[in-house]
């Protein structure tokens, strides 16, 4: 008789836009409406192609963590080490060389909670792109019973690689590529589906500064949320962003799903260094 295959729930990502707040103007005690980032009411800002953007993380919430350890007959985790990586396709320098640059960060998190000490953390500064902000997003849970992430976390935290990647033309291209390769190798090793590790997310998103197709995600400054679609779907009109959480409007209960909130701001005019 053929062995039964373990059925794993597919993870579909949606991109939402939080109406009202920005990186520089945000009141945690105020409730903000949430809409799909495809909504036609979002006015895309083509000028961001010329100015470049700054991108920062606001919040990670973990609800549905992997359960492979249970399937393997091991003790289920209640605390996780999570590696987030963003890989945008950028244009670099006067020659506008096209490059994929990866930023990564470790977070410790308990189930149904937020990443410890996670407020606003800037990822990229002076990021320039061509027509659309395209990026790969990956979220990997590391089995802390098998792998000790502390040395890698320390390496990232003690260098600017784990703090902020400035993509201005005066930065050495070799440094940016080296930083990116380091994160990509960590992601490849920990995301190899072994030792209980699980790649929760591995997807490419594209946000258009000048959308020409109906149904495209629309780019402007403000705050976005990548949401793992719950099994019963998403109804944005029932959700609000309040106290740094995505909540149900009527009950105040937090959304039962993994989600990641990030902000986009306009880069300041570069000064020669």
**Global confidence as pTM:** 0.85
When comparing pLDDT for 54 and 117, which is higher? 54
Q: Which of 39-53, 80-94, 131-145, 182-196 has the lowest mean pLDDT?
A: 182-196
Question: Quick one: pLDDT band at residue 15, thresholds 50, 70, 90?
Answer: very high
Digit-coded pLDDT (tens) for 196-222:
456 788 899 999 999 988 889 999 999
- Is residue 6 a part of any domain in this protein? no
Digit-coded pLDDT (tens) for 234-269:
999 999 999 888 999 999 999 988 899 999 999 987
| Dist CA 108 CA 124 (whole Å) | 22
Res 112: pLDDT: 61
- Is residue 129 a part of any domain in this protein? yes
Kindly provide the b/e burial profile for residues 138-164, where b requires at least 16 CB atoms within 10 angstroms of the residue's own CB. Answer: bbbbbbeeebebeebbeebeeeebbee
Averaged over 108-125, what is the pLDDT?
Answer: 67
> Is residue 185 pLDDT above 80, yes or no?
no
> Is residue 155 pLDDT above 60, yes or no?
yes
- Is residue 255 a part of any domain in this protein? yes
| Dist CA 148 CA 108 (whole Å) | 12
- Is residue 153 a part of any domain in this protein? yes
Domain range for residue 198? 13-266
> Is residue 192 pLDDT above 80, yes or no?
no
- Is residue 251 a part of any domain in this protein? yes
- Is residue 1 a part of any domain in this protein? no
Q: Which of 77-91, 132-146, 154-168 has the lowest mean pLDDT?
A: 154-168
Give how many domains the chain has, as a whole number.
1
Digit-coded pLDDT (tens) for 31-73:
999 999 999 999 999 999 999 999 998 888 887 655 544 544 4
> Is residue 24 pLDDT above 80, yes or no?
yes
Averaged over 103-128, what is the pLDDT?
Answer: 73
> Smallest Cα–Cα separation from 40: which of 220, 244, 271?
220
When comparing pLDDT for 185 and 16, which is higher? 16
| Dist CA 52 CA 209 (whole Å) | 11
Averaged over 105-130, what is the pLDDT?
Answer: 74
> Is residue 171 pLDDT above 60, yes or no?
yes
Res 184: pLDDT: 77
> Is residue 89 within 8 Å of 132, Cβ to Cβ?
no
- Is residue 4 a part of any domain in this protein? no
- Is residue 102 a part of any domain in this protein? yes
Res 205: pLDDT: 95
């Amino acid at each position: 008789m053929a062995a039964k295959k373990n059925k794993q729930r597919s993870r579909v990502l949606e991109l939402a836009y939080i109406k009202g707040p920005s990186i520089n103007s945000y009141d945690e005690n105020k409730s903000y409406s949430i809409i799909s980032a495809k909504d036609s009411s979002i006015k895309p800002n083509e000028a961001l192609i010329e100015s470049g953007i700054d991108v920062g993380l606001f919040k990670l919430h973990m609800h549905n963590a992997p359960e492979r350890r249970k399937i393997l007959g091991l003790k289920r985790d209640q605390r996780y080490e999570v590696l987030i990586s963003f890989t945008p396709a950028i244009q670099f320098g006067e020659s506008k060389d096209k490059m994929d640059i990866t930023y990564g960060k470790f977070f410790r998190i308990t189930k149904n909670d937020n990443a410890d000490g996670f407020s606003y953390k800037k990822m990229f500064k002076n990021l320039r792109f061509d027509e659309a902000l395209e990026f790969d997003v990956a979220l990997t849970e590391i089995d802390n019973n098998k792998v000790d992430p502390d040395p890698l976390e320390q390496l990232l935290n003690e260098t600017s690689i784990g703090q902020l990647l400035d993509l201005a033309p005066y930065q050495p291209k070799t440094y940016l590529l080296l930083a990116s390769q380091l994160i990509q190798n960590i992601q490849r090793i920990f995301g190899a589906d072994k030792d209980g590790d699980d790649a929760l997310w591995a997807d490419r998103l594209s946000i258009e500064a000048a959308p020409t197709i109906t149904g495209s995600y629309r780019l402007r400054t403000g705050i976005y949320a990548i949401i793992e679609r719950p099994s019963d779907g998403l109804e944005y009109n029932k959700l609000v962003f309040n106290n740094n959480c995505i909540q149900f409007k009527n009950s105040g209960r937090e959304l039962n799903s993994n989600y990641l909130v990030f902000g986009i701001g306009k880069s300041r005019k570069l000064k020669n260094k």
